Amino acid sequence: MIARQLITDGIMPLKTSDTGRIALEWMEDFRVMHMPIVNDQIFLGLISEKDIYSLNDFDEALGNHALSLVKPYVFEDQHIYEVLKTMFQNQLSLIPVVNQYEHYLGAITLPTLLSHFASSLSVQEPGAIIVLEMSVNDFVLSEIARIVESNDTKILSLFIHSEKDTMQMQVHLKLNKKDVSALIQTFVRFNYTIMAYFDANDDIDDLRKRYDALMKYLNP
């Protein structure tokens, strides 16, 4: 999935002729802390809620102020991982999407990005979660997949978390079955460390409820 497929509907950019008050109203409406400023399709930069509160006059045009705009953006053909990386590095609530000429195409909000990641990670699909802990040098994806499939189970999604300043890593497996007791025994037999697992229906239902509640909060 690439950036242009993730653009959030309804996010209108500000113009330099708009006022700080309008910017704050739109931020509240869209539930973001940043807004893009665009003139004649050209992306000029992002203005933050903090920037606006530092202005002397909320009713004066933004273009009349000496704004020090940050200018992070992603190109329309960049991968969703690069979108997340840019947003995380710049601590943004939205990220502008531009074409090769830096013409503004739209913006991606954090809730939209989170929703797409949740879908990719099969959060709402029923199934168990197993967390393996191992050395980075011991990670062999093909072997893990072989063990899972030998137990008549499929991996719906997988992500990796590496421990900072160590050679240890965690491999999180979302599976298509709720009862994974036999699979856990197989992993143990092959000397894998099971850090955690969740296979009870209540745990999965609770995870789904938490996800749905988060989506409702982020997309009122």
Q: Measuring CA to CA, how many Å separate 37 from each of 100, 108, 188?
A: 18, 14, 55
The architecture CATH gives domain 3-118: Roll (3.10)
Task: Could you please state the CATH topology (level 3) that the domain comprising 122-216 is classified under.
Answer: Alpha-Beta Plaits (3.30.70)
Whole-number percent of the chain with pLDDT over 90: 47
Average pLDDT, whole number, for the chain?
Answer: 85
What is the per-residue pLDDT across 105-129, written as a single tens digit (0 to 9) for each?
999 999 888 888 777 666 677 888 8
Element housing 168 (H / E) = strand 168-175
Q: What local confidence, expressed as pLDDT, does residue 202 receive? A: 44
Q: What local confidence, expressed as pLDDT, does residue 65 receive? A: 74
Does residue 217 carry a pLDDT above 60? no
Bridge-partner residues for 135, per DSSP? 168
Residues 6+ apart with CB under 8 A from 33: 27, 48, 49, 50, 93
What is the per-residue pLDDT across 4-62, written as a single tens digit (0 to 9) for each?
999 999 899 999 999 999 999 999 999 999 999 998 899 988 998 988 888 878 888 88
CA distance 32 to 156: 32
Q: What local confidence, expressed as pLDDT, does residue 30 receive? A: 92
Q: What local confidence, expressed as pLDDT, does residue 209 receive? A: 60
Domain ranges of the chain: 3-118, 122-216
Whole-number percent of the chain with pLDDT over 70: 86
Does residue 161 carry a pLDDT above 90? no
Q: What local confidence, expressed as pLDDT, does residue 86 receive? A: 92
